[in-house]
Structure 1
């Protein structure tokens, strides 16, 4: 099992804030907030889990306690000043006196010239407000954040969604958005860790900081597209018009030159919204789902299932039964991360086309494409009688362990030349010939950011033939290769 704390370090420094008003760490944070023009936020809290009855099934149920909102224990902020410098802070709210932080934080939330970024931040704000209220009193919560820009809206804007129409109900996760827009893989293995335990591990600190840091990178991509469209508003073809090319190159190479006060103000006016908490938002709600009484035979039924989930074989691609010899899997929505890991080692791994597919839709896809359905959903296993040797329950929890389990169970042959040979975003294949830097810049216009730090390096770029995502052999590529060589036991 890979220790997340020993994963390759992110491309940014993290300031951990743990002291009070006299602490240089807190002073540094407050100075950065005062000078910031854009601030990205995220928060972490201890996940709540249901407790089993203390004395077994026969114990009389205790009277339910009033529901309480979780206590936010970690606040992440990524600050960018008018001059373009960025700093990332992870604030330990169990160590920092909240009274020393509250005035500046409330002022920042409501300061009209500072744009705030977040990903579904309303829930974070509700919990954060309740945390400060519980510690300091009813007058010390937070009622609003404005101007505010949700990265979910930014994502759909970059994907060409009409702003006049309602957004799709099924929104993407932040990890998926970063993968699609930035070609950055965010590990979510620590998302549900206990954020109330101290000290925070190095892996937790890096995980928390990444969620705030990459919001600014996504905003950069948004700025570039907005700038390009405004410059090219009089043309009919934004991507091919020669007038657009210098704009895109300038944005990529100069970083944040377009983040001037006037330009940022126009973005705030045109695209930002606000978060306003009502009285009902600040009250904890009991779960609306009613617990279903389990029949006495449930445990026996589950035990019977558990005895029948071992893989029997052969797989549908086995050549002895007429298959093509090419392993193919379908990972359900519960283990999408495993699909990306399988793609990284060169295995064809598809995912459902919608977030909540019906079992029949999954079965139809594995029948049609000769795949094996990988799942952790016990409910799907009852359909195994319809799909003999085409449904397998993954036992492991972490993506690395899941990958090793699938490789071992299905005796997959992984070679070094197959590593990183498929598009992790869509499962597509790459073009046969690599692109030059100029060709890659042209292909990335209004679609993907190519960091300016690699312009002077002799790199090859590869484009997916299906989704047009660009890849290059940077630091993340080499770290990933080493990681998967270890998982697959490939010697150098």
Structure 2
């Protein structure tokens, strides 16, 4: 087809470029007329949902077109709906054109694309849907397009608040050096699109550092999010909760590790982490009273450092704990200016006698607590080893065949700072002595020797053996005879590695540890050079697993005077809530708990204090006595204990079709051993259908969900479970505090599991598989604890606030309450009538009912449905009538179907708790009726109002969906048998 000197089929230009542009404009109407039949045919097929016919029509049209790219641009320039979403007709046309071009003109044989056509494609690209960007880039070869046109397209996307598409296009075209990073990426960070920003900076170390600086600036104490948002007035879906310093610091920490960036680049994050460490230290000293003054002062000095702002916070926090004397003492020690001190501190400083020199605090002499576990070995048998010569002298004598050793490790607490501390001490205890290995110093000596020649290393070894006593040398020669026959490569390994290999891989020596799997993993992280030794770990027994096995066997055997579990715990049960972890086990087994005052001390300080030496030795030695006590308890009850199941590295039979290995399991595979039984990864297999727990009503089951499991928490609330969900800004230790105070079970995942389990016990902490969807997680929790859920429990709790008290209000009365609420809002705030569905909590849920709301874990919610009694589809026969504002409310008579499930009596409250004049409940909670759309008020006959938060619900399809989704875990009130039994 030719028209006025232009070969439209081949795009051959006759005449100059300006003449061609004028001709294109003149012929646009004729082109539209020619293509109108083709487009109308596609639209008819689209309306009929005949996708195959659309693809066939496109392919037939493409076969007759010599330049399909130009034809596509011509079509798209006169279409208006192609920019909306991928479900529209134009998206399918673009996809088909792109596939056809790629198949007929593969890479390396593509037809050249002139710059005028590229310019038209770029203009279309700036207003296209993000999903069509990649096909456009490849089809029109935009990698070779003019850079200024591409930069203009990116800036055009920014002006339209389409920052994600702008970042994607800039990354594809490698335009990052020519764009303002903060202008483009700040809106994406505010919208929590971190993956887009990480992709944008993935190949640029400069931009990676700039990203860290930007996030660090948002952690400054004076940062104002409101001022930043004013720069982006049209920005939607801003995630305010993600802008909290706690969330930002976690993200920065991950970026530092991923990009290998120095932490000095983010001083504000370090300052925020240090402030968090200070808060924890204050809680330990003034709340738990678990730290002595010496250790507390050491850690506070490290946390505060030379930061003036942190020094000021320290003084203010001491004053808030009403320890003004300590605040004055620290102010003098830190030489703080008086204009930064509170008046109470100034008064104490002015009235204290000034000394010529700096006042030094007298160190309190350490005194052991008689009510705590006492180390049975004399202090002179606690041997501190800080050089390889002494290690070669003493360690082989400990590794005699048939020996049992207690192994423990200590490291300086990190308190959330950016740099992770290394293992500072390894304790190895035998019946008559305890060795304390200064691993930092030993590793340094090993690295110094690694630079020597092999002959020099052997000479150093021979020299070290010379001064030993005759009997110790004989023991060493006997124990080393096997190594002398090893390969030359083993003989040439470092002394420290060789000795640690013998310690952990010896099959003749039983090593005891408590949660030893985590200790070994941390040891590997601290000293990667020990990986060969840890790969061959053998006969390492976890006391925590042995304790669980013994208690399970004892609880299965009824004993006169109480259950087996009660007898196993004995008279110390009244004190168990005060102790946790190993200290609790020592208390239950030996009658006295460990003295944990030195647990959080500075373990890298040299020399160690006497208190630290005693604590470290006791921590390892008590494992020997606990091991004996557990075996004696099992023997007295005539129980058969399987020690092989308690070994770290014991292979676990896995199902044939298992899920991918969890993160903790992959970590263990890196060092060549199986998953230790103490790690939650070993317990991720589903519990058997026949559950050994007694059936429990959902009304008696209460949990606290970690902030990472909010989707699971909302699902459990829908099923009637009492769920406390941690906020994103709350620390993990808050879960343990709530669990102990309110007798709840902790639901968590990831690394916090180990810490929380040690604080509340095995039975009160459940590890959730984060790879499952929230619905499947909820089912797993119900099965594990054998919780009975009936249809009457569904929606008996508010998904928003966890309340379980509702009020029923008829549609007509709710309409009057809505009018009252809007009038009150206008009178108090002076604002217009709020648009339905905006400005209150219910507004988000209205959109969720139409399109669904994606929660963490990929769960879709339609939360504007109510706790309903008509799950079988029957209508209500009684409502609560709300009379006029001047009348007293009274409940109308109600009659219920015998087949309708009942809620427990506390579910529905008396309607007299609602004040019709203020549209609020007795406690002042406002009824959020103004958020209900007028259409809903006209059609819905009955509303349910949460008395706790004022949320309004009504019946919908969500109830039947929950019934069908959880049909396999629902029970009936008439049938008392558990549904977990197959």
Which structure: greater helix fraction?
A: 2
User: RCO greater where, 1 or 2, for CA within 8 Å and sep 6 or more?
Assistant: 1
| TM-score category, normalised to shorter length | 0.3 to 0.5
Could you tell me the TM-score, scaled by structure 1's length? Answer: 0.45
Could you tell me the TM-score, scaled by structure 2's length? Answer: 0.25
Larger Cα-atom Rg: 2
Which structure: greater strand fraction?
A: 1
